[in-house]
Amino acid sequence: MPLLDGTHGNLIGYLLWIFGFTGSHRFYYGRPISGTIYFFTFGLFLIGWIVDLFLIPSMADKAENRYSQGRYDYNLAWLLLTYLGLFGVHRMYIGKWITGLLYLVSGGLLGVGYIYDYWTWNDQVADANRS
């Protein structure tokens, strides 16, 4: 049962935008390069973060066309990654129990795995939905 209609909606985008100076909303919408730039520049010195307040609806539309629904809800998966990622809960959600437990005891493999998941999470959820 999906958390919300669609794969990448405005509501979750705005919830992630609150911490957007870390780039989380950009990773969510499938933009890992700009997400990384935001991460290292504090949301392009907060200017890009404020501009994104108005860009979220167009980013949501593009992501909605790029990803399709499946067994695992993208919105819930991203909320779990963002807020509980260091504990591996997001990995357990999509059936990756071993790495989820590894994240639990290692703090997301000392944070490196957590960052890796930000880069690849949309594809990991899409793969889990295909299998």
Contact 60, 86 (CB under 8 A): no
**pLDDT in the model for residue 59:** 95
- Helix locations, the chain, DSSP H: 10-17, 24-28, 32-45, 47-66, 74-84, 89-93, 97-110, 112-130
The number of distinct structural domains making up the chain is: 1
108 found inside a domain: yes
36 found inside a domain: yes
49 found inside a domain: yes
Residue 13 confidence (pLDDT) above 60:
yes
Residue 97's identity, in one-letter code, is W
Residue 20 confidence (pLDDT) above 80:
no
**pLDDT in the model for residue 1:** 41
- Across the range 7-29, mean pLDDT stands at 90
Pair of tokens at residue 93: 């959600």
- Across the range 73-99, mean pLDDT stands at 95
**pLDDT in the model for residue 3:** 52
- What whole-number percentage of the chain has pLDDT above 90? 83
79 found inside a domain: yes
3 found inside a domain: no
Mapped onto helix, strand or coil, the DSSP state of residue 127 is: helix
Residue 113 confidence (pLDDT) above 80:
yes
Its domain, for residue 44, covers: 10-130
Residue 59 has, within 13 A of its CA and on its CB side, a CA count of 24
Query: How many whole angstroms separate alpha carbon 22 and alpha carbon 44?
Result: 10
1 found inside a domain: no
Pair of tokens at residue 53: 């307040």
- What whole-number percentage of the chain has pLDDT above 70? 96
58 found inside a domain: yes
Radius of gyration of the chain from Cα atoms?
14
> pLDDT averaged over the chain?
92
**pLDDT in the model for residue 100:** 97
Pair of tokens at residue 6: 């669609």
Residue 81 has, within 13 A of its CA and on its CB side, a CA count of 26
pTM of the predicted model as reported, rounded to 2 decimal places: 0.88
